[in-house]
Amino acid sequence: MESGSRQEDASSSRAKKSVSIQRNGKTGERMDFDLSARSEQWRERLQSFFDREVLPRHRAWVEHVAIKREPAPFMEDLQQKARAEGLWNLGLPELASDEPGTQLSNLEYAPLAEIMGRLFWA
């Protein structure tokens, strides 16, 4: 099998948004893996911030930390920007309504963790 074929197979299997589950030997309802509108909005906001603010700083972060072994000087500024855009405390579902954060469920947070997981320091 050609590598292109394998990639197509992998991408087509990822494109499926529901899966049949089996209970007691019977196929049950399909599980829906579509993102909620709320989750998709947060994913788009975070992806934009990540591409605009985080990725461009990655090389500087690596170089600074490798030499100085301390936090990069821009980290505090980056955290302030994330807070200002409401992208702080994304994974804390138990926050009260008056606390800063999104109150996203684990399911809503998962696609955001996938984005941030691209860089271990994000």
Model confidence pLDDT, tens digit, residues 85-117: 989 878 776 777 777 667 788 888 899 999 999
Model confidence pLDDT, tens digit, residues 45-91: 999 999 999 999 999 999 998 888 888 999 999 999 999 998 987 87
Q: Domain-by-domain residue ranges, the chain?
A: 3-32, 37-116
Q: Is 41 in contact with 49 (CB distance < 8 Å)?
A: no
- Model-wide pTM > 0.75: no
In 82-117, which positions are buried (b, 16+ CB within 10 angstroms) versus exposed (e)? beeeebeebeeeeeeeeeebbebeeebbebbeebbe
As a whole number of angstroms, the distance between CA 112 and CA 12 comes to 22
Looking at domain 37-116, does it have CATH number 1.10.540.10? yes
